[in-house]
Structure 1
Amino acid sequence: MGLLTALRGTFARVGRATAFNVTGAPLQLLPLVLLAQPWLLFHDLDAVPEVQLAVLAPLLLVVYGVGALTAAQRRRFASLAGVDIPLLPVARRRPTLRGAVNWVRAGATWRQLAYHLLVGPAVLCGTAVTFVLWVWGVFAGTALVWMWGVPPEQLPKFLESSTEAVYINASGLAALLAALWLTPVLVRLDTRAALALLGPSRSEQLARRVEDLTESRAGAIDAADAERRRIERDLHDGAQQRLVSLAVNLGIARATLTDLSAEARQVIDDAHREAKEAIDELNNLVRGLHPAVLDDRGLDAALSGIAARGPLPVRLHVDVPRRLAPTVEAVAYFTVSEALANITKHAPEASRANVTVGIHDGRLRVTVADDGPGGADPAHGSGLAGLARRAASVDGVFALSSPVGGPTVITVELPCAVSP
């Protein structure tokens, strides 16, 4: 029972492999037909040199055959062999000379061409060999049966001798064994070649993975930034306005209700003061989430507000002639804000800070320097490490120079994407 099961499985695999090879024959033959077209068209024209025809033939295949052949082969591998060949990052043929040149120059295009011109015909030859082996194996492998079941006068001459019939029968059985071995081998070789030539290379897969990760990260950053903007709007238009209204009402009550006792007036005064303090704290919170001035007036105005509000004297120089992408502007803004906060917290000896923002070599460079004692270390504390992570979130670069004795200089370079 085990032997029958094994034989059944073997013949089933060979049958599927045979169907796969046979269905691939037209696709493997088509490039040869395309290659023959120039000679068929120009065989009577002596003015067309053979060199020009040799160049025209593969170009004809590139322009009209590669994409369709690759798509057909990909479907054949998926449906008959269960092999999923990833899509190639081939540049589309654009209706311009430059687009066509870029498409032809792409490495993926020439890998496809190599498969259809070299591997396909080779596998086609292998399929033809297996077909011959199958036919000869079925015919010659039953030579002895023919001798026993067919009248001698109807037998071919090479089967009239028993010795020759035995040799022929043995060759037929050998052909069957060879066909059983060669048929799946062709499928495996064809599959490996297709994955290597019709699919993306390892470097292309890595590049695509990096691109996907970059896009997903950018999407996550944009989504987080949009959520911060929404929270800022909700706080500004909701809770903040109610607190302002409460403070105004308390102020009116304090001014108009003159017949209150001293204790009641003190309660109103305390409530009014706490409401104003809550408004200030909420303003700082909203500004920390996303400053509205950054959207309305740009990076220069937003950074000017930071410099004016801080306890440390700040010399600010901003040279950004155009609006940048909102995410880049937000990262630059919070970089300066957090850097100045770190100076105030960790370097109280500093007497001033210099902030310079400008575009250099196509990147936005943000520099924050102070005259404090130096010795800052990103490994100690989360402030500097947070600045580095914030810059890295948009493919930026963070650099720190803080020798003992000062000065401390933080430099951040960000991709200079222009706002749409």
Structure 2
Amino acid sequence: MVSSSVGRRVLTHAPWSRATWRETVFVASGVPLQLAGWAIVALPWVVWPASDVSVILLWLAVPVVGLVLVARPLAAAHRERCWAVLGVDIPPLPPRGEDAGPLDALRDLRSPELWRLVRYHLLVGPLIALAGLATVACWLAGAALTTVGAYAWALPPDSPLSLTGHAIRIGVLTAGGVVLLVGAPWLADGVARWDAGAVRSLLGPDVTSELRRRVEDLAEKRASVVDAADLERRRIERDLHDGVQQRLVSLAMNLGLARETMRDLPPEALKVIVEAHEESKEILTDLRNFIRGLHPAVLEDRGLDAALSGVAARVPLPVRLTVDVPRRASSTVEAVAYFVVSEALTNVVKHAGATSVDVAVLRRGDTLHVTVSDNGKGGASFGGGTGLRGLARRVGSVDGTFRITSPDGGPTTIDVELPCAL
């Protein structure tokens, strides 16, 4: 495997390979563009000789203005060169705006993006251009020296390259030309990699800014998904409440009416009606609990105080509830706070062995603080099968923080902070 890889690499860097000539063309085509920055800087020195202060000011102003105006077009030309010759696609820089003009480019003088371009055009690019010129010179010198024997015979005998008088010298020069031709592809490959890497890092989007933009974009998309899921839960809750639940209520009422009025039926038929009536009431209770678990209507209508008061009233333990929310948060954040308290109270009843629970929901600035504390036996953990991991994920879906303190012997305290900036 190693020998085949080495052989393939040697063939790729052969002087006659397509990759070698593609990289050479890429390196050579970049030289004029890479020297354009210094050409703009040197232009006023050539056009206007130093005669007075105004000319010196021109020396200073023209390079700055010219370089700022051509920085983006030159960068676009380099990116296009990478794509056209090497097939390397480098994303363009973020646009300044649809209505941006030349003056907007001058307003970007404090932009880190602009100075990345200037760094390439005045520092990195010229260095790569020198390496590119060295690559071209290596090819030309190699070709000239390798073929020196082909025309040395025609030179006069007193020439320093005469084949008749300096055969050993001609042999050495030919060998040197072969070495240059063998080394030129490797040099072209190295310069091409350097050039493409510099274009990507300095003339393409800034990696840090791009990552920051992608994080912000992903955060917005995640928030949209969370809001859409909450909206869908509310829609399902409304459809069940207004549709299926009402029909079940009507069915239970009809069965109850039949149970009370149709006393003359055979005992078997009456038993079926009684069982159907009881079953319909149980189904109705289960459906109400399911609807409440999706998204309680009271939460949307009256807020956290009323919704959590209903949850606390259904817990078979003394619950001290404190809700201080001067301004309501978004419906998504309120839903997360509600389900955190509801699930935490369910865990207390099932697992904690507590005799009392304290619940506090307080809004301080742009943060909603939720605390649930019990005097139970403690020992709660994410691996205990109590749904804490699901609660933490639900809190994390809105960029909140979830902390639990539960030493053996208790008490257990759950602290949640939810961002709720309007």
With normalisation by structure 2, the TM-score equals 0.77
2:321 is the alignment partner of 1:322: no
1:399 CA drift (Å):
1.9
Change (3 A) 1:36 1:297: farther
Whether the 8 Å contact between 1:307 and 1:314 is mirrored in structure 2 is yes
Once residues 158 and 12 of structure 2 are traced to their aligned partners in structure 1, the CA distance between those partners, rounded to angstroms, is: 32
Which residue does the alignment assign to 2:88? 83
Residue 182 of structure 2 corresponds to residue 142 of structure 1: no
Identify which range, 177-186 or 288-297, moves more after superposition: 177-186
- What SS does the aligned partner of 1:11 have? coil
User: What is the distance in 1 between the residues matched to 2:339 and 2:398?
Assistant: 13
- Contact map agreement 1:316 1:356 (CA 8 A) in 2: yes
- Distance change (3 Å), C-alpha of 1:262 and 1:316: same
User: Structure 1 residues 30 and 8 mapped into 2: Cα distance closer, same or farther (>3 Å)?
Assistant: closer
Q: Distance in 1 between matches of 2:172 and 2:200?
A: 38
Whether the 8 Å CA contact 1:143–1:165 is kept in 2: the answer is no
Alignment of 1:166-181 (within 5 A): 167=169, 170-171=172-173, 174=176, 176-177=180-181, 179-181=184-186
Instruction: Tell me what 2:3 maps to.
Output: none
Q: Could you tell me which amino acid in structure 2 is paired with residue 304 of structure 1? A: S
Equivalences for residues 4-403 of structure 1 within 5 A: 6=11, 9-12=14-17, 13-36=19-42, 46-48=52-54, 54=60, 57-58=63-64, 60-61=66-67, 63-85=68-90, 92=96, 107-148=112-153, 150=154, 162-163=164-165, 167=169, 170-171=172-173, 174=176, 176-177=180-181, 179-198=184-203, 214=219, 217-218=222-223, 221-222=226-227, 224-254=229-259, 256-257=261-262, 259-261=264-266, 264-351=269-356, 353-360=357-364, 362-370=366-374, 372-378=375-381, 379-403=383-407
Structure 1 pair 245/360, CA: closer, same or farther in 2 (3 Å)? Answer: same
- Once the two structures are TM-superposed, the CA of residue 69 in structure 1 deviates from its matched residue by 3.1
Residue by residue, what CA displacement relative to the aligned partner does 1:2-61 show, whole Å, maximum 9, x if unpaired? 9xx949953223311221112223321332234346657876784458589558745653
Q: After superposing the two structures, state which structure 1 stretch, 278-287 or 37-46, moved more.
A: 37-46
Cα distance in 2 for residues equivalent to 1:199 and 1:82: 15
- Flag the 1:384–1:143 CA change in 2: closer, same or farther, 3 A: closer
CA distance in 1 between partners of 2:137 and 2:350 (Å): 86
Residue 373 of structure 1 aligns with an amino acid whose one-letter code is: G
Letter in 1 for 2:33: L
How many Å apart are 1:218 and its aligned residue?
4.3
- Relative to structure 1, the CA distance from residue 58 to residue 313 in structure 2 (aligned partners, 3 Å threshold; closer, same or farther) is farther
Conserved 8 A contact 1:376-1:402: yes
Local SS of the residue matching 2:384: coil
- Higher mean C-alpha displacement, 357-366 vs 65-74: 65-74
Q: 1:6 to 1:281 in 2, by over 3 A?
A: closer
* Gapped regions of structure 2 (runs ≥ 5): 1-6
Q: 1:408 corresponds to which residue?
A: 412
CA contact (8 A) 1:294 1:302 kept: yes
Q: How many residues align?
A: 407
**RMSD of aligned Cα (Å):** 4.1
The 3-state SS of whatever aligns with 2:370 is strand
Residues in 2 aligned to 1:308 and 1:41: alpha-carbon distance in whole angstroms:
89
Question: For residues 142 and 402 of structure 1, do their structure 2 counterparts lie closer, same or farther at Cα, with a shift above 3 Å needed?
Answer: closer
Structure 2 CA distance for partners of 1:345 and 1:206, relative to 1, 3 Å: same
Q: CA deviation at 1:393?
A: 3.2
Preserved CA contact (<8 Å) 2:40 2:63: yes
Whole-Å separation in 2 of the counterparts to 1:278 and 1:101: 71
| CA distance in structure 2 between the partners assigned to 1:137 and 1:338 by the alignment | 79
| Distance in 2 (alpha carbons) for counterparts of 1:44 and 1:66 | 26
- Determine the C-alpha separation between the residues in 1 that align with 2:53 and 2:417: 62
1:122 shift after superposition: 1.4
Letter in 2 for 1:397: T
Structure 1 residue 167 displacement after superposition: 4.2
Per-residue CA deviation, residues 287-319 of structure 1 (Å, 9 max, x unaligned), is 112223333333333223322333333333323
Identical columns (%): 49
Which whole-Å CA distance do the structure 2 matches of 1:131 and 1:79 have between them?
Answer: 20
1:316 partner letter: L
Distance 2:369 2:350 in 1: 24
Alpha carbons 2:116, 2:203 under 8 Å: kept: yes
Structure 1 length normalisation: TM-score? Answer: 0.78
